[in-house]
A and B are shown apart, each in its own frame.
Chain A
């Protein structure tokens, strides 16, 4: 099949400090020209000019109807690629061929003017997005209905609440119907409800058979919406394949890099954290995932593990794990009370390992801090390490409904649910409800 977007050897070079150089004042330019009149002529030589490649030799193709996610760390070149594709900035080298009309949504409400009314802004914003006036006329009522701001249509948008403003802006954007749609993740900011609406609409667009290129840090959205994903790193395309594999690669490159290592071992007793009663030897957080996967996601179980020296003779040691979200709110705490062998026993001096298995589908997505405390049988604290480890739980699972932001709470357990139909109001045709048929059969 022929691609709808063909990207060939795209590179984009920026001059470092270009901003200052460019907006430098006339006097400096003139003075510079007088001092070194030949420099401008020799400008093509790169000597003395620091440049960097925001994009380097990007090559890929997008098939019609495909939803392609683009992921990468901040500064990996995602936004630059989007700007090149949407023709906001020109590539330094290379060529892009588009075999369809392209619409880009780098933000909602581009060109909204605060002094103009909602009605006027619909037309202005629509034409900026490339919707023809006739199409806006045709879809006007639909846009207004979607935005839920009918009553304020003839009020200047500067008097709108921020929610109304964004709703109206998004309503216009949602009616953009190009063959290729570029969407930036900035769309997914705003309150959770708006985010869900945006991403839900994107899902609709994707299902309607149009081609979508979507940039995001939101791994659930990428997993759920995109067929394939491209991973950029330092301006290069490092991976382009099935979404799940690329996300795994992404997590490998960023997921754990920014937090404390998940395995910490202190070889010598003297240097290890602790006191004269208890000293740590190792703290490990080990995902029990299938091979190849790294990190912890909401679907993986993992073990919290501590190795410690008990230096107090003949005491009954109780280990306490407390997990806090990074904002300080507690997630849970757990003790060795349920431990079947050593619970209630007298510990001799020695090296011990205690391990606690956290089941899958318990922790919500987020970054957590593990606090490890050691107590004796009188609940006296032997040693308390408030930041024994920091770990992240990712949410990369597919969602079954258009909600892509974080669930509330530090835990998100999988509970058992049941729903029953108690009584049917029989004024709708049964055929539209396959679930109803299932129920009747059952």
Chain B
């Protein structure tokens, strides 16, 4: 009796003083935030492990219980490339880029496209899909679309392995221009992240967009140089066409691979559009983020 009592009665004593002194400045201040307050980078850094785990969960869950598992990462663009090669390359005789075999041309574009469309499709729904987390615990909400894009980025890097094998098979020379590749990948990651942030925040408010998104993505595929080269677009339309940031990115990616001159103008337009979109998306996302738990 006395053991039990002495142990439990200690909860009745008044607050104990802690050994560790409290910091003089508050660690966290909670108040209504202004929409133009910049992204809290320190907060993002604190939660960097969560970003990793969320991205890892995304990849893990996607290929769990599939017979081919992670192989699907490569098979998705590869099978699409084969289909495109048959229908567009062999039957419709769509030209490739210079002397590059059509299958390689298609696959190189599809690697980027599969990443982008996958990231944006999942990214658009990501806030709704994680509503149970958003309403139960705090973490920087930016991690959610970032983790989706991060998960797909892993896919992209894996599918580059098959690209390397194909390049060897078709004896494409390794050149200095390939150093542009990482730049194009960074651009497409920023673009996918920006579009994901924007659409996910919009979809929370307007569910319609969630239904329309797959159609829009399909439209995007046809206004991007995936099955056809940029040169096929009439010169009069080129300027407007280049406003689609994927144009400069995919064209630049292929030019880097196949040692063609980089279209710097297109690349600059893509970078500018991507950056503007990204900034707008962050701003908009932060605005929606504030009340997210109340509306999601």
Contact = CB atoms under 8 A, between A and B. Distances in A.
A63 to B, nearest CB: 5
Contacts of B33: 90
Given A99-B23, A209-B16, A435-B3, 19 more contacts: A22-B205, A23-B205, A25-B208, A26-B208, A64-B15, A64-B17, A66-B15, A87-B28, A87-B138, A88-B134, A88-B137, A88-B138, A91-B30, A97-B28, A98-B28, A100-B22, A124-B57, A225-B11, A400-B5
Given A18-B295, A98-B26, A124-B53, A107 B206 contact: no
A99 B15 contact: no
Nearest to A132: B49
A197 to B, nearest CB: 16
B207 interface: yes
On chain B, which size bracket covers the interface? 35 or more
Interface string B141-170: 000000000000000000000000000000
Interface string B204-221: 111111000000000000
Given A98-B27, A110-B133, A115 B138 contact: no
Interface in A329-348: none
B3 A434 contact: yes
Contact of B133 (A65, A66, A111): A111
Interface stretch (B59-67, B83-91, B102-110, B192-200): B59-67
A128 B50 contact: yes
B133 A64 contact: no
A92 interface: yes
B263 interface: no
B261 interface: no
Contacts of A99: 22-23, 26-27
A209 B53 contact: no
Contact of A89 (B26, B28, B291): B291
A2 B26 CA distance: 11
A279 to B, nearest CB: 51
Interface of A: 1-2, 4, 6, 14, 18-19, 22-27, 29, 63-67, 83-102, 104, 106-107, 110-111, 113, 115-116, 120, 123-124, 127-130, 132-133, 156, 203, 206-207, 209, 224-225, 227, 398, 400-401, 433-435, 438
Interface in B271-296: 290-291, 293-295
Interface of B: 1-6, 8, 10-12, 14-18, 22-23, 26-33, 47, 49-50, 52-54, 57, 60-61, 64-65, 132-139, 204-209, 290-291, 293-295
Specify which of A83, A85, A128 lies most central, judged by the most chain B CB atoms within 10 Å of its CB: A128
A123 B53 CA distance: 8
A87 B27 CA distance: 13
A111 B15 CA distance: 33
Nearest to B43: A87
25 contacts: A19-B295, A23-B205, A23-B295, A25-B208, A26-B208, A65-B15, A65-B18, A87-B28, A88-B138, A90-B291, A91-B31, A96-B29, A96-B31, A98-B28, A98-B30, A99-B27, A100-B22, A101-B27, A115-B61, A115-B65, A123-B53, A127-B49, A129-B137, A203-B8, A400-B8
Nearest to B62: A115
Contacts of B3: 433-435
A250 B4 CA distance: 30
Contact of A127 (B22, B50, B290): B50
B88 to A, nearest CB: 34
B61 A67 contact: no
A165 to B, nearest CB: 15
A110 B137 CA distance: 8
A67 B33 CA distance: 29
Contacts of B57: 113, 116, 120, 124
Contacts of A18: 294-295
Given A104-B137, A110-B133, A113-B57, A435 B1 contact: yes
